[in-house]
A and B are shown apart, each in its own frame.
Chain A
Amino acid sequence: ILNVEQSPQSLHVQEGDSTNFTCSFPSSNFYALHWYRWETAKSPEALFVMTLNGDEKKKGRISATLNTKEGYSYLYIKGSQPEDSATYLCASLFSGGYNKLIFGAGTRLAVHP
């Protein structure tokens, strides 16, 4: 059974704090790792897709790293703002066949002014 784990489950930070969370996945047959941001009452929105060990991607104050050998990815938010409040989902794609993203349960981030 392929399992994607995210931690922590939820996080409360103050505006201006930097924060990070973790996504763990099985390293065998790894193909790609996706990060999505999901605001309440909206659609999940893609942040990053990473495929190579050591990949680092950045979008504004948000960045992510990937370690495929040990099976984890970190998402970092620098200087959190209230508008960063959302659930952050990671999903792993394993090789072979058609796209079958295995999602983690998400990290719910609340940024307090």
Chain B
Amino acid sequence: ETGVTQTPRHLVMGMTNKKSLKCEQHLGHNAMYWYKQSAKKPLELMFVYSLEERVENNSVPSRFSPECPNSSHLFLHLHTLQPEDSALYLCASSQAATSVDEQYFGPGTRLTVT
């Protein structure tokens, strides 16, 4: 139990659907992150939020839309995805977005786009 939860754990969606992934951290951290892991590829950073403000967008297509309503919650809104977007999506948090502190990860959402 890392203190970071993600829902749902598994999601199957069609290319025309709209869905959202949710992440919640109970650690009092000020930074939150979305990562993507595609098959046989390293974990890849998508977005960084610091104190609810997006501070890094790692060239992610606009069909992925993050939202951070407060420092404990992070969402990833998905719309008109492509089959190649099927992947494991991990959320993480850390004390601050500029420190060297370790990141605490959630268990991930396994997304399949059909």
Contacts and interface: CB of A to CB of B under 8 A. Distances in A.
A93 to B, nearest CB: 6
Contacts, number: 66
A29 interface: no
What bracket does the count of chain B residues touching chain A fall in?
20 to 34
Contacts of A101: 43, 45, 103
Interface stretch (B13-21, B68-76, B77-85, B93-101): B93-101
Given A43-B105, A98-B56, A4 B42 contact: yes
B42 A104 contact: yes
B interface SS class: loop
Interface string A88-106: 0101010001111111111
A41 B99 CA distance: 28
A103 B43 contact: yes
Interface residues of A, number: 26
Interface of B: 2, 4, 31, 33, 40-45, 48, 50, 55-56, 58, 90, 94, 97-108
30 contacts: A4-B42, A31-B100, A34-B102, A34-B103, A36-B105, A41-B107, A43-B2, A43-B4, A43-B106, A44-B43, A44-B90, A45-B2, A45-B105, A46-B103, A46-B104, A49-B100, A51-B100, A89-B43, A93-B100, A98-B50, A98-B97, A99-B33, A99-B94, A99-B97, A100-B45, A100-B58, A101-B43, A101-B45, A102-B42, A103-B44
